[in-house]
A and B are shown apart, each in its own frame.
Chain A
Amino acid sequence: MPVRVQTTDFDVSAELAALRGADPRVGAVAAFIGTVRDVNDAASVATMTLEHYPGMTEKALAGIVDEAKSRWDIIDALVIHRVGELKPTDQIVLVGVTGAHRGEAFAACEFIIDYLKTRAPFWKKEVTPDGTRWVEPRASDDDAAARWTAPAEPPR
């Protein structure tokens, strides 16, 4: 299953090379890398801890990848998400998609990260000068995911 949850960092070049393999059908590789900012909601962030729900997380990510494969003509997709303690500039998440052409690969990559942000069970807790706080969800993330939404989705 091309989905991994891990505490360690990842090497984008190596991961994308492995995703492409030696498949001559691949004409496009689209990737998204999420990283930790040093400011969130006007407070400086020293470190953050990412928690997840083992068991559901892998299933949710695999389901999102399957959904992307059913909606777009792509060849393969990869999601790596880190958990545990992270600091500003660290890599958090990698989404990689291969396809014959860029249009489908770009769209599927954007869909996967949009859905991940609203459906995969991860939570961020930040350490700021005012103390520790759980990150609040953003309405803009719901809006981004809603662009792709078909009827009969679970309630938000």
Chain B
Amino acid sequence: MRDAATPPTTLTLVYLARLRETFGTATERLEPPPEVTTVATLRTWLAARGGAWSTELAPARAVRIAVNHELARPDTPLHAGDEVALFPPVTGG
């Protein structure tokens, strides 16, 4: 059984649309620290990189996060091997 209390060892991060351009990268593999167990704690940890990360991921900014291709909530737990995508509100249709 996977346990939400166990921190993920490796995550694949995907950045899309404006966030990809602002961060200057489309994807990266990360080994976050033990305190990163949820979508919300991952966002906070990434924002601490400063610069564009701090600006784009500030709490007031609208950022959508999907885990394994499903829209996630702040309390969605993360597990090793998850693909986590960060993107602006969608504008299709």
Residues of A within 8 A of B (CB): 34, 50-53, 55-56, 59-60, 81, 92-93, 113, 116-125, 134-137, 141, 154-156
Contact = CB atoms under 8 A, between A and B. Distances in A.
Given A134-B17, A134-B88, A155-B74, A122 B69 contact: no
A68 B82 CA distance: 28
Contact of A120 (B18, B85, B92): B92
Give the dominant DSSP class at A's interface: mixed
B90 A123 contact: yes
Nearest to A118: B90
Contact of A53 (B74, B85, B93): B85
Contact of B66 (A56, A113, A124, A134): A56
A17 to B, nearest CB: 23
Interface hub of A51, A116, A121, A136 (most chain B Cβ within 10 A): A121
B17 to A, nearest CB: 4
Interface hub of A93, A119, A123 (most chain B Cβ within 10 A): A123
26 contacts: A34-B93, A50-B92, A51-B17, A53-B16, A53-B87, A55-B69, A56-B66, A81-B92, A93-B92, A116-B93, A117-B90, A118-B90, A119-B71, A120-B90, A120-B93, A121-B66, A121-B85, A123-B18, A123-B88, A124-B91, A124-B92, A134-B17, A134-B88, A136-B91, A137-B88, A154-B72
A123 B91 contact: yes
